[in-house]
Amino acid sequence: MRIIPLVIAVLVSAFMYLFIIERDTLLALASTDDTAAQSETAGAAPGNDEGDGASKELVRVVALRSEARTIDSAVIVRGETEAERQIDVMAETSGLVVSTPLRKGTFVQKDQILCEIDPGTRGSSLNEAQARLAEARAGVPAAQARLEEAKARLEEAMINDNAASKLSQGGFASDTRVASAQANVRAAEAAVASATSGLESAHAAIQSAEARVASAQKEIDRLTVRAPFAGLLETDTAEFGALLQAQGPSGAHCATIIELNPIKLVGFVPETEVNQVELGALAGARLASGEEVRGTVSFISRAADPATRTFRVEVDVPNPDLRIRDGQTAEILIAAEGKSAHLVPQSALTLNNEGRIGVRVVSDTSQAEFVEVVVLRDTVDGIWVTGLPDKADVIVIGQEYVVSGVQVEASYQEHNE
């Protein structure tokens, strides 16, 4: 007695499997059987000259005549806001802070003083360097005078040497006198070389003193730390009396400042869509707070992220009131070149046996056909899809009861928008 419920359960399961999973196949078989039966009946009926075409029973469906239209396309990415610039302002010298600190959140202008450091003995070092410079400059006239004197003595020695040589040729001067005159010329030449070297040393001393003055002045200039650009302080500036020690190239921290106008929207576009994005393209974004902003694309990376194979895209957005903060989540829509698409009801979408999304259309021979589509955008009026020809009769009622190749009788409805 227990085998009967088991058999019934197996039969019900088989029926449900055929009705749900193999529904398209059953409908096709049923349509084929009906067509064959109608053909036999029509062939057996006397006086029927039109054959099976006149008595074939067609599946009635409702279709929509659709024409492709060009719509604005967009690349959608998720990203975040990012400050235009953010920098840790560092002190380049060591010392005690002698300025009143500015509190975080304060808006500062470019070149505004952020931190001042006690000068200590730096002023004395500058005065000493300036005194050395004055001393070096004072030595130049003396060196120049010695050079001129040496040149005069050289000229005199050359005249005496010339006179001695001529007198010696006439027998009026001894060889000793000639040798002495030549020795005087060589001594004068050596004196000129020495005076020239002395003058060059005086100029070198001036340059060295100027370098020491510049170094001392630069050290004093470093006592005042200024804002490199206008922005908001993200941290307090260094406290009064705090010791800043500039160790290494990074220096000592004075404050952190960020620039929020304009602000950047940063997202990462897949490699399949990056060619649709162009510099200067309009873009909009919806922030996590619900605020909507607009801007233009200012940067597209040429190198992909090695981990995600995506490309960094930046959008500049005006932010004069500084309402948009750094690090807010944003859904970014970047305008792309328009695409040709059809607007169809959401209910018209269906799946084929392979699980691919598409719609069924009425062919030129009044047969149902499945066409795979790609969904571009979902709107309140319907779904924009691509993949259909420029003109298509899309089945909107009855598409679930027909398969490809089934003859249909379509009635048409108006396009509602």
Structural domain contains residue 69:
no
pLDDT in tens, 385-401: 989 999 999 999 988 88
Residue 368 in domain: no
pLDDT digits over 271-280, tens only? 888 888 989 9
153 plus 214 within the same structural domain: yes
With 70 as the cut, is the pLDDT of residue 26 above it? no
Number of domains making up the chain: 4
According to the model, what pLDDT value does residue 18 have? 64
Q: Which of 264, 138, 247 is nearest to 202 (CA)?
A: 138
pLDDT band, residue 23 (cuts 50/70/90): low
pLDDT at res. 353: 86
pLDDT average, residue stretch 251-269 = 91
The answer to whether residue 41 scores a pLDDT higher than 50 is: no
**152: region left, alpha or beta (phi > 0 left; psi from -120 to 50 alpha):** alpha
- With 70 as the cut, is the pLDDT of residue 311 above it? yes
Say what the pLDDT of residue 381 is. Answer: 84
- What was the pLDDT predicted at 373? 92
* 68 domain-assigned: no
- Cβ neighbours for 394, distance < 8 A, ≥ 6 positions apart: 63, 64, 66, 342, 344, 348, 359, 360, 361, 388
Specify whether 204 is located in the same domain as 325.
Answer: no
pLDDT at residue number 189: 87
Residues 165, 285 within the same domain: no
Q: Please tell me whether residue 373 adopts helix, strand or coil conformation.
A: coil
24 lies in the same domain as 139: no
**Are residues 106 and 248 both part of a single domain?**
yes
Mean pLDDT of 342-361: 91
**Buried/exposed 349-379: b ≥16 CB within 10 Å, e otherwise:** beeeeeeeebbbbbbeeeebbbbebeebbee
What is the pLDDT, as a whole number, of residue 117?
93
158 and 243 both lie in a single domain:
no
Find all residues with CB under 8 Å of 114, minimum gap 6, and list them.
89, 99, 102, 108, 225, 226, 227, 237, 254, 255, 257
In the structure encoding, which two tokens stand for residue 197, read together? 């070297």
Residue 248 lies in a domain: yes
> What is d(CA 147, CA 199) in angstroms, rounded to the nearest whole number?
8
Number of Cβ atoms within 10 Å of the Cβ of 145 = 12
What is the pLDDT, as a whole number, of residue 83? 94
Residue 353 lies in a domain: no
Q: Is the peptide bond before 46 cis (omega within 30 degrees of 0)?
A: no
CATH code for the domain in which residue 272 is found:
2.40.30.170
Tell me: do 245 and 160 sit in the same domain.
no
Tell whether 26 is covered by a domain: yes
Pairing state between β 59-67 and 391-397: antiparallel
pLDDT over 60 at 86, yes or no:
yes
- Given a cut of 90, whether residue 302 has pLDDT beyond it is yes
Q: What is the pLDDT of residue 170?
A: 72
The winner for highest mean pLDDT among 176-185, 250-259, 319-328, 334-343 is 319-328
Same domain, 184 and 266: no
pLDDT value, residue 47: 39
3-state secondary structure of 123: helix
104 lies in the same domain as 132: no
Q: Which segments of 306-386 are extended strands (E)?
A: 310-317, 329-344, 350-351, 357-362, 368-372, 374-379, 382-386
Q: Where do we find the tokens 């490199």?
A: 228
Q: Quick one: what percent of the chain has pLDDT higher than 70?
A: 85
Report the predicted TM-score, pTM, of the whole model to 2 decimal places. 0.56
Give the β-pairing of 368-372 and 374-379.
unpaired
**110 and 229 both lie in a single domain:** yes
CA-CA-CA-CA torsion sign (360, 361, 363, 368)? positive
Looking at the domain assignment, is residue 231 inside a domain? yes
Question: Which is more confident, 74 or 119?
Answer: 119
Q: What is the pLDDT of residues 42-85, one digit of tens each?
A: 444 443 433 444 335 788 999 999 988 887 777 889 999 999 99
| pLDDT grade for 228, boundaries at 50, 70 and 90 | very high
pLDDT at 53: 44
pLDDT-derived band at 283 (thresholds 50, 70, 90) equals: very high
pLDDT tier, 227 (very low <50, low <70, confident <90, very high otherwise) = very high
Which range of residues forms the domain containing residue 241?
A: 89-117+224-255
CA–CA separation, 334 and 77 (whole Å): 8
* Cα–Cα dist 200/222, whole Å: 33
CATH number for the domain spanning 108: value is 2.40.50
What pLDDT sits at residue 380?
A: 82
Give residue-wise pLDDT tens across range 132-168. 889 888 888 888 888 888 888 888 888 888 887 877 7
List, for residues 359-389, the tens digit of each pLDDT value.
Answer: 999 999 999 999 999 887 778 888 889 899 9
Identify whether the C-beta of residue 94 lies closer than 8 Å to the C-beta of residue 252.
Answer: yes
For residue 160, give the CATH number of its domain.
Answer: 1.10.287.620
In this structure, are 167 and 300 located in the same domain?
Answer: no
Two tokens at 259? 């620039």
> How many separate helices (H) and strands (E) can be counted in the chain?
4, 22
pLDDT higher than threshold 90 for residue 256: yes
Please report whether residue 181 resides in a domain. yes
One domain, residues 217 and 228: no
Over residues 16-32, the mean pLDDT reads 61
User: Which stretch of 20-34, 120-134, 214-228 has the lowest confidence by average pLDDT?
Assistant: 20-34
Side chain identity at residue 326, one-letter code:
D
